[in-house]
Structure 1
C-alpha cells in the first residue's frame, strides 16, 4: 500500500459507562499531524486515495492506542466505500493489532449511517466478516442518514450510537423522548448496546439515563484529547 501524500494523527474521546463510572471505550478521531480538525483532512480525501486513507487511519489509531495503553476498547471509524473485499482489506488491521498487541475483541468498528453506501449488501458482508473475525461492530449516527432501519434489518451490530440530533435538548422535547424510548425497546429486544453521543448537558444526561441509556459520549464528560487520553468528568 502506497503512502498518503499528507500526514494524519488521532484524537481520543472516551465513551463512559455510568453504571460503574468507568471508561467503556475510546473513539479514535482523525486529526492532522499538528492537531488540525478532521475537516481539513477530509478535504484531501477523494476516490484516488480513499483506500489508503482508510487503512492509514486504522493503523494509526491502533498504534497510538497501544502507545497510550488505552485501558478499555478502541473504537475505529471505517469507510465502507473504501473496502473492496473485506477479507483482503482487514489484513492491515490484523497485522497492526498483532504488532502492537491489541486484542481483536477490544476493537470496535463503527460505520456511520450518514455516509451514503452504494451497495447495502456489500456493507452487510463487511460487518458480518468483521464480527466473524472477532471484532465488535457499531452503527454510528443512528437516525441521521441514509441507512436507518433498513441497515438494522439486514445486520444486527453489537452497538448503536444515537445521533446527537436525537440527543440535543432531548429533555425538552417529547417527540425526541418518544423516539428514544421506542428505539431503546427495540435495541433491548435485539440485544444491541446503545451509546448516546454528543451529550453536552446534565439535563440531557439525566433524561437519557431515565430512558435506559448508560453508555455516553460527549463534551459533558471530556473533549477529544489529541494523541492523548483526556481526563473524564463523571457528573455527581
Structure 2
C-alpha cells in the first residue's frame, strides 16, 4: 500500500481533504497489470517505411484519467519502479503478441535504469521468453527527473548498451539538462520536443533551432526524430530540412492495433514535388546574396542510365558537382553527388560490379532542399 498521505488536487496543488493518490487503485493496477498498451509508429522519410513503434500505456478502467496522473501517484507512493516494471511487462507482451515489426521505443526514467528488475535480468529473461532481442529495443530516456550523478548514470547506460539496447533522449529542448545529457551519453536517437515542431513551417526561430539540432545530430552520429507532427505544412518543412524520422498524429495516432501501412495523406506528402518554402526566407534582405546566385543549369539524367554513363559525365566536367535524376515527366527523383559516385567507384571492383547498373541505385532520394531566395 501507498505510504504517502499527502492530499493533492488534480492540478497537483495541495488541497486539504482531497486524496488523489488512490493507493488501492494503484496497487491493483500494478498487481494485475491493468494497463492497455498502444503503439505509435515512427516514420523514416527516406525509406518511407516505419522505423518502429513507441509503446505507451493507458490505465484501464480506473480512477486515473491517464498515464500522467498514474505515474504522479506512483511517485508520491514510492511505487515508481513497480509501476515501471508492470508497464514494461505489458508492452513487451503486447509487442510480441502482435508480432510488431521493427524497433520498439520504450520509455524509461533515469531512476528506472537502476531498478534491479530492469538491470539484473528479470526484464531480459521475459524478453528471451518472448523472443525479443535487446537489439530491437531503444530505451527512451525521459527528462522528468534530475540526474544528480552523471557518472553513475553513464555506467547504467553502458550496462544496457553492453546487452545490445540502443539509447534515445526524449523531448530535446524541453530543459537545459537534456542538452548536457546529449553531450554526456552520445545517444543513438534524439527526439525533438513537440513545442519546436508544431508550427515550424511558419516560425523562423523554431526552424533555425531545429536546423541547429540537425547539425548537432550529424556531428555526433545521432538520428533525429521530430515528435508532435500534426500538420502537413510542418511535415513538408521537416522533410525538406532533412530530418530523418517523424512521429505524430499526422503520421498516425497511438492505437491498440499496430498500423503497418503508411496512410495515403502521408504518402501523398512524401510524393509531392513542391518544395516547402522555409520560414523567414520569402525574400532576400537588401544588400544580401541569395542562394539563387549559386544556381547552375545541369542537364538531368534518366534513372535507367547506367552508372558508367554518369561517371563519364563527371570525368568530362571537373566542375560538375551533382547531377539531377528525373523521370519521363521531368519530375525530380533524386540527385547523384560527385563525391559519392567517385568514392563508391574508387573501392576495389565497385565499378566492375555496379558500372552497368541503373544510376537510380546510387542517387540520394532525400537531398537537402532550400528555397532559391534564402540569403547566404
Q: Give ranges in structure 1 of 5+ residues lacking alignment.
A: none
Q: What is the count of residue pairs matched by the alignment?
A: 233
Moved over 4 A (4+): 85-88
Q: Which residue of 2 aligns with 1:110?
A: 140
The alignment's C-alpha RMSD in Å is 2.1
Q: How does 1:121-160 map to 2 (within 5 A)?
A: 121-160=151-190
Q: Distance in 1 between matches of 2:69 and 2:117?
A: 31
Q: Distance in 2 between matches of 1:121 and 1:136?
A: 18
The yes-or-no answer on 1:204 pairing with 2:234 is yes
1:38 to 67, 86, 89: 67
Q: 1:85 Cα shift?
A: 5.6
1:23 to 26, 47, 50: 50
The yes-or-no answer on 1:59 pairing with 2:89 is yes
Is the 1:80–1:123 Cα contact (8 Å) retained in structure 2?
A: yes
CA deviation digits over 1:5-26, x for unaligned, max 9? 3122311100011212211111
* TM-score, L = length of structure 1: 0.90
Is the 1:55–1:92 Cα contact (8 Å) retained in structure 2?
A: no
Identify the structure with the greater strand proportion: 1
Q: Which residue of 2 aligns with 1:189?
A: 219
Q: Distance in 2 between matches of 1:32 and 1:97?
A: 23
* TM-score, L = length of structure 2: 0.58
Q: Distance in 2 between matches of 1:127 and 1:95?
A: 19
Q: Which has the higher contact order (CA 8 A, sep 6+)?
A: 1
SS, match of residue 14 in structure 1: strand
Q: Which residue of 1 aligns with 2:195?
A: 165
CA pair 52-64 structure 1, distance change in 2 beyond 3 A? same
Q: 1:77 Cα shift?
A: 0.3
Q: 1:4 Cα shift?
A: 4.3
Q: Distance in 1 between matches of 2:211 and 2:166?
A: 24
Bigger mean CA deviation after superposition, 162-171 or 88-97: 88-97
